[in-house]
Amino acid sequence: MTKSFNNKLGQRGYGCVYKGQLQDGCFMAVKVLEESKGNGEEFINEVASISRTSHVNIVTLKGFCSEGSKRALIYKLMPNGSLEKFIYKRNPSNFDHQLGWETLYNISRGLEYLHRGCNTQILHFDIKPHNILLDENFCPKISNFGLSKICPKEKSIISMVGARGTMRYIALEVFSRTFGEVSHKSNVYSYGMMVLEMVGGQKNVDVTVNFSSEIYFPHWIYKHLELNEELGLLRLLKEGHEDCARKMIIVSLWCIQIDPSNRPSMSRVVEMLEGSLNSLQIPPKPFLFSPPRRSLTNSSIEMLSIQ
């Protein structure tokens, strides 16, 4: 199927992805997991989560293999790769494919479905541009459910041992219950951070330099909204896009409130995105924190409060 794994599409922390083709001509992406991934927990999570759903915004799982310590997941190939290739300024060659309102709306609907669209809630815990794949029509597909948690729809709070996810996108309550309980609102936070990066065309925090308000994008953009200043965003300054950008930013800033109870549900997020800009209020100025810079296994969390 993969011609002995001779067409490598990419490599992440979980393993490698290879291009394959079925006998009917359909192209596949085969994700081969590293053997050291926690007794197969992420593999089981992925199969259990995706097999329970069927939605236009979720990547299609065609099959899986498990033989001894070797495990692989087989997906329908997304020819345009991941969203992160198209949103950051370091990739100017891809700017012809601007992130449009329809794409953002589809992503919103996909996440809303995961929270409310089926009998079982699937909390992803790793929502970020790298895990949003794009098909031939740039329709987004959510992927990589290895860190997900499944819980009954009637439950809003879940128990969880240890933090999980990717720095820059993790809600603080996932690190410390001092900030609140872990729930679907934790994914709302990740969603908000991701959309801010989509709008700004840059990472919210550059972890290669010391933290400061100049490089913490959520703080910078909030001040511009508060003073009603021009946003100065190169990616969305085409005619008619300024209002769209402001709407995305206001919704995102609601999503990244530190207190989970102040964040909207994903269904409310969709309502705000579909509504008019004039109906949206700028959220209270949040206590904006730079994300933890230490390992997830370190219980000591280093944070910088930006006033």
Reading the block at residue 274, the tokens are 């579909």
In the set 24, 126, 206, 243, the catalytic residue is 126
Does the annotation count 206 as an active-site position?
no
State which amino acid sits at residue 290: S
Q: Which long-range contacts (CB under 8 A, 24 or more apart) does 17-24 make?
A: 19/77, 20/74, 22/62
CA angle 250, 218, 85 (to 5 degrees): 95
Q: Which residues, 6+ apart, have CB-to-CB distance to 212 below 8 Å? A: none
Give dist(CA 10, CA 286) in Å, integer: 37
Query: Could you give the CA distance from residue 109 to residue 117 in angstroms, rounded to a whole number?
Result: 10
Is the CB of residue 282 less than 8 Å from the CB of residue 225?
yes
DSSP string covering 35-64, please? Answer: TTSGGGHHHHHHHHHHTT---TTB--EEEE
DSSP strand E in 144-233: where?
A: 149-152
The DSSP symbol for 215 reads: T
Tell me, rounded to whole angstroms, the distance of Cα 32 from its chain centroid. 22
CA 160 to chain centre: 20
- The two tokens of residue 137 are 């029509």
CB 243 within 8 Å of CB 275: no
Q: Give catalytic residues, as residue numbers.
A: 126
